[in-house]
Structure formats: C-alpha cells, structure tokens
C-alpha cells in the first residue's frame, strides 16, 4: 500500500512511477540506468517484476531530480514536513483557544495525507484530532478518531500504535468505563513486555496512563508499582514532554500515599517543561493537581487559587470538558470554605455537562457533594436522592473507593432516620463491592518489563 510507515510501495506502483518520471524527462532506459545499472534492470523494474533496493531507488531519484520519497512511495518532496508543520500549527491554535480553526486545519491535513495514502501520518493526525475532541467533551467522536488511527496502523509494530491505544483508553476512562480502560492499557503493556525488548518511550506512556484508572479502582499497589516502573524507564526517554507527562501522572500516586512533598516536586518538574514548550493545556493540569494537593492538606485558599487558575487556562485552551471536572473540585473547596449555596449552584450547573458515559466519575462526585450539602441543610430526602444517584454512577464506573464512601454516608443517613435495614443494606453494598474478587487485583498483574542493559553516562567530549 502506498504511503505505509516504511515507504514500502508495491513493485508495480514503483515501476509505473519510474516509467512515468523517466518518459516525462525524455530519458531512455539506458540513459537513466548508466553507469550504475543496466537498461535491462530498469526494464524489469518498470514492468513491476522486482522492487529495487533503497540504494537503487535513491540512485534513480537523483538521476530523475526528484526526492527518494516521491519515487519510493509517491509522496511529493517536502509533503511530510509540510504536514507536520501544519500539525504543530493546529496544536498552537488549539492551545490559544481557536478550536474551530485548529480542528478545521487538522481535517484539511488528514484529507491531504489521505490523498497520498500516508497511513502513519493520517493516524498521527487523527490521534491529535482525537485528543482535541476529548478536551471539549466530544468523547465518542474522539474515541472514534483513536480507533481509526489504531486500525490504520494494524500491520505496524505495537510501539507505533501506543499513542492511539492510550487515547482510546483515555476516552473510555473519561466516559466512566474505568475497568475497560485498564484492560486496554494492561493488554498493551503485556504485549510490549512479552516481546522481550519493548520501546521504553511507548512503555512509559502506558505505565503513566494506567495510574489514573488504577487509583479510581482502588488498586493502590498497582498504581504505585506502575509509577515506579515508569520512573525507572525515564532515563531512556529523550522527549521532555513525555517525561513531563510522566511526572504529572506519578504525582497522583505520591499524593495518594501522603508523599505530598514528592508530589509537589514532581509537579514542579512537569510545569517547568510545559512552560518552556508553551503547552498551556498541560500546564493547566499541573495547577489542577496542585490545587488537589492543597485541598488534601486543608490549605483551602491556596487550593482555590490553583483550581481557579486551572479552570481559566483550560477554558482558554479549548479544554472546556476538563474545566468542568476541575470546577467540581473547586465547588468542594468553596463548600469547605463556608459557601454551600454557591457550591450547590455551581454543581447543578455543571451536571448539565456530566453524566453516564460523559464524565461519570466527576458526575458522581458532584452528586456526592450535593448530597452532603443537602444533608447539612437538613434536606434528608434531597441528600438521599443525590447519594443514590452517585452510587449508581460509581457502581457503573467501578470506582470502588468512592462507592464505599458514598454508601457509608447513605447508610449513616438512613440509620439516623431509624431505617436500620436499609442502612445495613447500604453499608453492605459498599463493602461488598470493595471486597469483590477482581476489584483491586484486576486479574493477573501485567508482565514486568524485561531486564534492559544499564544506560552508561556519555563521557564528556565524546
């Protein structure tokens, strides 16, 4: 197929292309061939009977005054560079909040790459578009882009498909299908490690991506192990943005295990890279995480400042869906600061953009908080309704830690009303889900990475 990742067009297409370019230039087969090859060899190539080596193609391309890529797979000279420049421009537009222009440009680039059947670039562009769609809440459309990207690379080695797989897993995670997100990521990790010599960058991306789903499922041991394995791989990865994403991810496990100073240090490292590369949407997520850390330490004013900064930056960069998720946490901080009416108003507004299949975990968090606000206000019926809605969402998403917490609150509420049997049922429901086989084990753990040779420091002056 033309335009495959390795430029491996068919012998027949290469032969026809060679003949067309030769005749357009008025060259005979002998003139094209000599002194390096024979006219008979050119004739065999043009007939599609053999595909010449890379060296032969480069020789003929130089004689024809075209690029190797144009002769090998029909790609006009400079097109790949042009498409990548366009992709970088689209990212800049999106980070500036020009959503329609960014997505419109990507659509044009995808069309241009499709004309020349550049599957690797089409997949890369579709993955970029998928990430843009997830930002503003078009989760199914974003997931479809990642699925198409993965399908385009079906015949390529797994490392080439990792970004598409990670994107698809992220879409399922945001939709609320946390366990399936884990399954996708763990399957890819197993396949990479099972091959014996995995790509360190691809493997690190997968370990970093699975941390969030693990934490939601209450699989703390696995999250911590994934963070450690990812950090072990970091010295083998050269892309600073990928490493920054790792630090942002592992900060979550550090916070969950009360290692707040280490979490803060990891976020500082990530933020420095995002600032240097001017990636505002990712920098916003560092502010989001820092706000979470402050809230956990009861530094509520600092938490509010960081979360408001995150919301403003996310909305400015077209990441409205992520901004909604941050606002749920901001509402919790405002309630704890003594502003229940404001928090309740914000949460009810946010729930118009959250629900089953669309930010289910944060929708559950919103109902959980609304239940606490209503209970504190003495509206027991309203509190119960919100708790039960939260439980349904948490059960569907399999977020067992949150489910146990909300079930306990519901049980306490029912018990205070003398509804003892219902209270016991609520308690048991939360505890049973938490203790259910597979909840924290998720089946067999992913294979560990193979032992890789130690990276020796490069001597100065070498």
pLDDT attached to residue 115: 87
Kindly state the average pLDDT of the residues 74-89. Answer: 90
∠ CA 262-264-266, nearest 5°, is: 70
Full-model pTM: 0.84
- Mean pLDDT over the full length of the chain: 90
424-433 — which CB contacts under 8 Å span 24+ positions? 429/391, 430/391, 430/403, 430/404, 430/405, 430/406, 431/404, 431/407, 433/395, 433/400, 433/403, 433/404, 433/407
Residue 130 and residue 138 in contact, taking contact as beta carbons nearer than 8 Å? no
CA–CA separation, 346 and 343 (whole Å): 5
- pLDDT tier, 268 (very low <50, low <70, confident <90, very high otherwise): very high
Nearest to 390 by CA among 420, 417, 369, 416: 369
pLDDT attached to residue 209: 96
Task: Please check the confidence at residue 8 and state whether its pLDDT lies above 60.
Answer: no
Residue 326 and residue 307 in contact, taking contact as beta carbons nearer than 8 Å? yes
Residue 355 pairs in a beta bridge with: 358
Q: Verify cis geometry, omega within 30 degrees of 0, for the bond prior to 222.
A: no
Contacts of 444 (CB under 8 A, 6+ apart): none
pLDDT tens string 115-133:
888 899 999 999 999 999 9
pLDDT tens string 320-377:
999 999 999 999 999 999 999 999 999 999 999 999 999 999 999 999 999 999 999 9
pLDDT tens string 338-348:
999 999 999 99
Residue 390 and residue 364 in contact, taking contact as beta carbons nearer than 8 Å? yes
pLDDT attached to residue 131: 97
Residue 265 and residue 293 in contact, taking contact as beta carbons nearer than 8 Å? no
pLDDT attached to residue 117: 83
Task: Please check the confidence at residue 439 and state whether its pLDDT lies above 60.
Answer: no
In b/e form, how buried is each residue of 234-248, taking b as 16+ CB within 10 angstroms?
A: beebeeeebbbbbbb
Task: Please check the confidence at residue 433 and state whether its pLDDT lies above 70.
Answer: no
CA–CA separation, 270 and 287 (whole Å): 11
419 φ, ψ (degrees, to nearest 5): -95, 65
**And the tokens for 198?**
């995995």
Chain centre distance of CA 91: 15
pLDDT tens string 200-221:
999 999 999 999 999 998 889 9
CA–CA separation, 118 and 122 (whole Å): 6
């Amino acid at each position: 197929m033309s335009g495959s990742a390795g430029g491996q067009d068919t012998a027949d297409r290469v032969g026809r292309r060679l003949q067309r370019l030769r005749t357009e230039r008025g060259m005979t087969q002998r003139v094209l061939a000599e002194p390096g090859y024979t006219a008979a060899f050119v004739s065999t190539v043009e007939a599609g009977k053999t595909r010449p080596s890379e060296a032969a193609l480069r020789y003929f391309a130089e004689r024809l005054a075209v690029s190797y890529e144009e002769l090998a797979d029909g790609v006009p000279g400079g097109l790949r560079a042009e498409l990548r420049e366009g992709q970088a421009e689209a990212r800049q537009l999106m980070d500036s909040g020009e959503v329609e222009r960014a997505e419109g440009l990507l659509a044009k680039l995808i069309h241009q790459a499709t004309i020349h059947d550049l599957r690797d670039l089409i997949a890369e562009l579709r993955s970029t578009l998928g990430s843009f769609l997830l930002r503003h809440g078009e989760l199914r459309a974003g997931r479809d882009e990642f699925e198409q990207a993965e399908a385009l690379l079906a015949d390529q080695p797994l490392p080439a498909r990792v970004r598409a797989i990670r994107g698809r897993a992220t879409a399922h995670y945001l939709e609320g299908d946390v366990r399936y997100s884990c399954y996708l990521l763990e399957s890819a990790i197993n396949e990479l490690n099972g091959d014996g010599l995995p790509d360190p960058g691809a493997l690190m991306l997968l370990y970093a991506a699975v941390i969030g789903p693990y934490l939601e499922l209450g699989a703390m041991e696995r999250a911590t192990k994934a963070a450690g394995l990812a950090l072990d791989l970091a010295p083998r990865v050269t892309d600073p943005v990928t490493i920054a994403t790792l630090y942002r991810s592992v900060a979550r496990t550090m916070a969950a295990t009360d290692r707040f100073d280490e979490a803060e240090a990891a976020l500082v490292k990530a933020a420095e890279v995002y600032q240097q590369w001017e990636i505002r949407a990712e920098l916003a997520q560092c502010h989001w995480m820092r706000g979470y850390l402050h809230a956990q330490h009861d530094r509520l004013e600092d938490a509010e400042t960081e979360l408001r900064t995150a919301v403003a930056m996310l909305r400015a960069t077209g990441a409205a869906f992520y901004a909604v998720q941050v606002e749920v946490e901001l509402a919790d901080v405002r309630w704890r600061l003594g502003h229940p009416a404001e928090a309740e108003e914000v949460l009810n507004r946010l729930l118009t953009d959250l629900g089953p299949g669309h930010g289910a975990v944060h929708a559950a968090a919103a109902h959980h908080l609304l239940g606490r606000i209503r209970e504190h206000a003495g509206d027991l019926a309203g509190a119960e309704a919100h708790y039960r809605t939260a439980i349904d969402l948490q059960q569907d998403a399999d977020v067992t830690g949150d489910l146990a917490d909300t079930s306990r609150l519901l049980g306490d509420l029912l018990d205070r009303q003398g509804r003892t049997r219902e209270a016991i049922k609520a308690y048991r429901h939360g505890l049973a889900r938490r203790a259910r086989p597979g909840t924290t084990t998720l089946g067999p753990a992913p294979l560990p990475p193979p032992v890789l040779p130690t990276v020796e420091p490069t001597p100065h002056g070498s």
